[in-house]
Structure 1
Amino acid sequence: MKGPNDPAEGTFDYGPLVVDLALAVLVGWTVWWVVRYLRADAMTRQSIRQAVRVRWGWKRLAPMLKLSVTDKTPTALASLANTNGKPIKPRVLIPALKVTHDAYGVIARASCLPRVGLEQFQKAAPHLADAWRCTRVAVTQDKPGQVVIRGVRLDPLKFPTEHHPTGEVPDEKARWDLGVDEYAQPVAVDLTQVPGVTVAGLPGFGKTSLINRLLSDWAPSSAVQFACADGKVSAAHEGDYADWVQRMFAFVGDDLEEANKLFRQLVELRRARSASIRTVLGVKSMWDIGPSEGWPLVVLVIDEAHTYFRDHKGSDPKTKKLAALAAENARLVEDLVKKGRSVGMLVILATQKSTGDAIPTFIRDVCPVGLSFAQKTAEAAVAALGEEIREWPDANPINLQDPTYIGVASMNHQSQPGFTRVRTPYVPDAEAARLAEQTATLTANPYALLEAVLGPRMGEVNLTKPDADAA
C-alpha cells in the first residue's frame, strides 16, 4: 500500500539525476582546472594561485580600502519580510570582481558603485598592490561603469622578448606594434597621418631592433615601399640592414653626396605626388583612401641621422663641401617631413642623441611620435621626449641604462597622458633575412609606379625622374 508521500504511479523521481548531473559538472570543471594548472608554466601557475587569492579575499579587502558603500534603503523583498517592525539592517555593497590571469599577474574587472568609481580605485591602487603582492597596479576605465585593474607580480620590462613575424599582410595599414608596456599590455602606434618619427638612445640599446620589427611586419604588404640611409655603414652589404636591402627600392651608406641624391629624389617624388594626387587618387590626402600597391606608403629610414646633418667646421674646400651637403640634406628632409604626410611619405630618424646638432630642431619638433631608449643625460632625454619628461621621473630614459633594460624605450603614448615604458622585442636575424628574401619581389620604385599610372601625363608635373641607378 502506497503512503501519502510516495511518488504517483507513472512518475519519475528526477532528484538523483539532477544530483548526479551536478556532480558530473563539478568533477568536469575540477578536472579542467587541474589539467590547465598542470600544463601551465611556473610563472603562470603562480598567477593562477594569485588570482584565487584575489577572488577569495576581495569581499574582506574591499571594505578595508573603502571600495564599498552602505545601502540604507531596504529592498522590496526585505520590506515585505519585515513583520516585526524592527529597523532593517543596511546592506554593504561590494563591487563585483571578475579575475583572470596571465604569466605576469592578474587582470580584474570591477563594476563601479555610487561613490566608488575610477578615482576611488586609482587611489586604492598602491594598497591593492600590497595586498595582492604585485610589483605595481594600474586602474583604467574599461567602459562606462566598469574599471580594469591590472596587477603585475613580475616586471615585464625586465624580461627580453622575441617577435616571430608571420609573413602575413597586416590587417591594419600604418599600425606599428611596438611591444608591451610595464603592465604587459600590448602597445601600438597608429602612424596614419604621421609624417615623422624620431628614435633616440645609446648605442646597442635597441633602436635598430625596433625598426627591424617594423620592417618585418610591414614588408609583406605591397602597399609599403622602403628606402634607407644608414650612417653606420659605407656599403649595402654591411650593417644591420644588409638583408633588408633587397626589400628596399633605395639604399645609401654614410656618403653625404649619395645621401643627398637620395633625399633630392624623394623630394622630387613628393612634388610629383603633390601635383598629381587629385588626378590619380581623386582626393586631397592619400590617407582618405589609404595606401595601395599603385600608390604605396613610402617609408624612409634614416639611421644614425647625425651623420647626414652634422655641421662641419673648417675652411678647406672639402669641409665646405661637406657642410653644404649637410645643410642641404637637412633642408630636403625638412621638406619630406613637413609636406609629405598627405601624399603618403613617412620619415623615421634614429640617432643616439636627438639634440639639435644631431637632428635639426626644425625637423625634430614636427615629428609627432618620439621614442627614446636609454640616455645618459637629462639634456638628451628632454631633446628626445620634450620638457614634459621632467615631470615623469619614473619614465625618464636616464633610468634605463642598466643592461637589464636593453630593448626598453620611453614614449609619449598617443592614447593616454604622460609617458609609458615599452619592452620592444628582438626579431631573430635568420627570420628577418628569410622574410626579406620572401618579400623581395614586392619591391617597386614609387616614382616608376606613378609614372606607369600617369603615362603621357607625367610630363604635366614638370619634374625630373630620379636616377634609376641610384635608386
Structure 2
Amino acid sequence: MASIWAVLWLVRYVRADTMTRASIRQAVRVRFGWRRLAPMAGLSVTDKTPPTVVVAPDGKVPKPRVLIPKIKVAPDRYGVLVRAECLPKVSLGEFQRAAPYLADAWRCARVSVLPDTPGRLLIRGVRMDPLIVRTDHTPTGAPPEEIATWHLGLDEYAQPVSVSLADVPGVTVAGLPGFGKTSLLNRFLCDTAPSDAIQYAVADGKVTSSAEGDYAELAQRAFAFVGDDLGEANALFTRLVELRRARSAAIRSVLGVKNMWHVGPSAAWPLTVLIIDEAHTYFREHKGSDPQTKKLAALAAENARLVEDLVKKGRSVGMLVIIATQKATGDAIPTFIRDVCPVGLSFAQKTAEAAVVALGEDIRNWPDANPTALQDPVYVGVASMAHQGRPGFTRVRTPYVADTDADRIAAATAHLTRDPAELLAQLVKAA
C-alpha cells in the first residue's frame, strides 16, 4: 500500500508545475514531521485513563498514552490544505493559538484554522502570499450554475471567495482609480452574461457614450447605457423605477409569490442589474445660483431619490444596484443609499476615513485588512470586504479579465439582451 501511495505521489510530482512541486515537497514534510511537531506546539493530549490491564505481566504499569490529532495533507499551487481531527482539549482554539508556530515550522507565509465538519478542522498554509500574485480569468462563455453567485477571486489563503446576491438590494465598490474596480465588474458581467435570466443597465460617469470607456465591449449586452449626462441618467433611473413599480404590482399575479427570490430569476423575469460607475457624477451636489447649476442640482437630487427607491424597494422584485466610486463618502454615494447596501468592497484607500465610509466603523478593529494598507502597486486588484458567514474582514485578489475576452463574451451573448419592461408586459398579457 505504501509503495502504491509513493508511486501516485511521484506521478503527480512529475506532472506538476514548479509551484505545485514545491507544495508537494512541503506536504511531505508536514505529514512526516507531524508526530514530532504536534506535542511541541501544544497539540497533543495525555490519556491518563488506566488501560484494561492495569499491571503488565512483567509487573510494570503501562505509561499514559500521548494522543496526537490525525491529519490528512493535500498540496496545491500555493501551499497545503490540512484536515485535522479534534481531540479533548485539542480543538479549534488550541490550533488557532498554535497557528504562528505551525507557519514557522511549515515555512508558510501564514496559516489559518477554520472549522470544517463536526470534530474536524481545516488548516490552510500558504508558502507565498496569494494577494501579490496577479491572476487572470478567462470566461468560459457557459451560463453560470448559480446566477446569484458572484465569484470574486482568492483570499489571502488562496481559497475561493464568492458573494451571494440573492435577496441583496445593493452593492458598493470603492477604491482609488486604477486599482481594480472596473475589472471586478467586468468579471461579473462576463461570467453572468451567458444567462438569459439576467439583464443589465449601465450608467458610466467616466464617458459620454457607450462607445467609450471600460464598458465599450460589453455595452451591446446591456439593454440601456448612459454616460455622464445627468439628464440621460435621470431618464434611465426613472425608467427603472417605473419597472420596479410595475413588477411590484404584478408579482403576485404573475409569479404567485411576494418575493421573486422564492422562485429565482428566469428569462421571462430576469434579475435586473443597474451598474453605476463613478457614482459621484450623478449624485454630487451642485452649488450656485445660475439657472444651469440649479438644473444640475435638481437632477442630482432627483437621481439620488430614484436610486434610493431602487435600492430600498427593488430587492423583492429582482432588481440589484451595484454602485462604484473612488471614495464612498456621502457626497459620492448619499448615505441613505450607501447604508442600506449590505455588500461592500473597497480597493486601496488613502485615508482611514475613506476606509470607514466604504466598509463601516468595524474596519478600524481589523488593521491587517484595512484598505489603506493596499496602496502598494503589488496590491492592484486586491480588495477588502466583510465576508458573508465569517467574522471580521478578508482581503481578496480579484483576477484581471482581458478586453478581448470581454468583447468575445459580449458578441456571443448580445442576442440575449432584452428589455425587462417588455418582458413584463408580455407576462402580464399572458396572465
Q: 1:348 aligns with which of 318, 322, 336?
A: 322
Q: Measure the CA separation in 1 of the matches of 2:55 and 2:404.
A: 73
**Amino acid of the structure 2 residue aligned with 1:170:** P
1:422 aligns with 2:396: yes
Q: 1:245 to 1:238 in 2, by over 3 A?
A: same
**Amino acid of the structure 2 residue aligned with 1:225:** Q
Query: Corresponding residue for 2:36?
Result: 60
User: Aligned to 2:61, what secondary structure does the other structure show?
Assistant: coil
Q: 1:319 aligns with which of 265, 272, 293?
A: 293
The correspondence of residues 120-159 of structure 1 with structure 2, limited to 5 A, is 120-159=94-133
1:50 aligns with 2:15: no
Q: Measure the CA separation in 1 of the matches of 2:426 and 2:232.
A: 26
Name the stretch that deviates more: 86-95 or 443-452.
86-95
Q: Measure the CA separation in 2 of the matches of 1:106 and 1:452.
A: 54
1:407 aligns with 2:388: no
Tell me the CA shift for residue 37 of structure 1.
1.3
1:302 aligns with 2:302: no
The correspondence of residues 207-246 of structure 1 with structure 2, limited to 5 A, is 207-246=181-220
1:36 aligns with 2:12: yes
Give CA deviations for 1:374-401 in whole Å, capped at 9, x if unaligned.
0001111001001100000000000000
Tell me the CA shift for residue 29 of structure 1.
4.4
Q: 2:230 aligns with which of 247, 252, 256?
A: 256
User: Aligned to 2:211, what secondary structure does the other structure show?
Assistant: coil
User: Aligned to 1:265, what secondary structure does the other structure show?
Assistant: helix
**Amino acid of the structure 2 residue aligned with 1:191:** L
The correspondence of residues 255-294 of structure 1 with structure 2, limited to 5 A, is 255-294=229-268
Q: Measure the CA separation in 1 of the matches of 2:133 and 2:332.
A: 31
Q: 1:330 aligns with which of 291, 299, 304?
A: 304
User: Aligned to 2:105, what secondary structure does the other structure show?
Assistant: helix
Q: Measure the CA separation in 1 of the matches of 2:203 and 2:84.
A: 50
1:449 aligns with 2:423: yes
Query: Corresponding residue for 2:83?
Result: 109
**Amino acid of the structure 1 residue aligned with 2:122:** V
Question: Percent of aligned positions with the same letter in both sequences?
Answer: 71
Q: 1:278 to 1:327 in 2, by over 3 A?
A: same
User: Aligned to 2:378, what secondary structure does the other structure show?
Assistant: helix
Tell me the CA shift for residue 80 of structure 1.
8.2
**Amino acid of the structure 1 residue aligned with 2:33:** G
In structure 1, the gaps of 5 or more residues are 1-21, 458-471
So what's the TM-score if we normalise by structure 2? 0.98
So what's the TM-score if we normalise by structure 1? 0.90
Q: 1:133 to 1:456 in 2, by over 3 A?
A: closer
Query: Corresponding residue for 1:89?
Result: 63
Tell me the CA shift for residue 86 of structure 1.
2.7
**Amino acid of the structure 2 residue aligned with 1:376:** K
Name the stretch that deviates more: 45-54 or 370-379.
45-54
1:186 aligns with 2:164: no
Tell me the CA shift for residue 169 of structure 1.
1.1
In structure 2, the gaps of 5 or more residues are none
